[in-house]
Structure 1
Amino acid sequence: MRYGDDGAQTFAMDRRLFLQAYVAADGYPQTLQSAESLIRRIGSVAAVRECRVRPYNKFEDQYGVWLDLDAARPAAAFEALLADLAQGWRAEGEGGERFAVWDGRLHGAAFLPALRWLHLNLHPAADD
């Protein structure tokens, strides 16, 4: 743990954590509702540093939601998100570099019915 210039506690990020989600939606308003639900769900495990939403070019009824996450313990957050967001992930890698994919057509249920595909990525920070 470190202390910032203002005396506030800060945590050194030893890993980077990203989540990419594809959701079924009729447009941006519905997609943003799904993104907000996803962000609320993640909030107990990690903070969202950036959220980007774009149409998915392969399927007209799907939109991509990209989340750059910040967690004091990224490896623990990775495991917690796997347990909380969906059932039946396919996970690979070990240690500080891991990823997991969930496909709604092939795997178990997700907490949000609009979710179609998830990709969770944990990798070393640039200064590692």
Structure 2
Amino acid sequence: MLREHKIKKTYAAVVKGVVSLDKQLIDAPLHRYELANGERRVRVSSEGRTHQIRVHGLSIGHPLVGDDKYGHETEYKGPKPRRLCLHAMRLDIPGYAPIEAPLPEDMQSIVAQLRAQKKD
């Protein structure tokens, strides 16, 4: 079902900056490569076929908060995260009830703090 794209996955992410739309479609193919030191990376490339939220966020200028690999050079003045701010919040598998997971407390706290900063 995964290969046939029949399973729908929905993620929540806290990103750096303000994305202009509530929902934005990013459909840039990615390419995996390896650095000289052996570290694996991914970049937007017409040669690739995988998709990764972290690299797509970076490609539109909004890397994920807490991402030490992609976009850590991008300035961020919000609350310090304990981890990468990405959460798999819903999984829809044909023939089964949706599987949902509420936003973890640490991400809820960061979102609340960012909203409070925005009001100031």
- TM-score after normalising by structure 1: 0.24
Higher strand share: 1
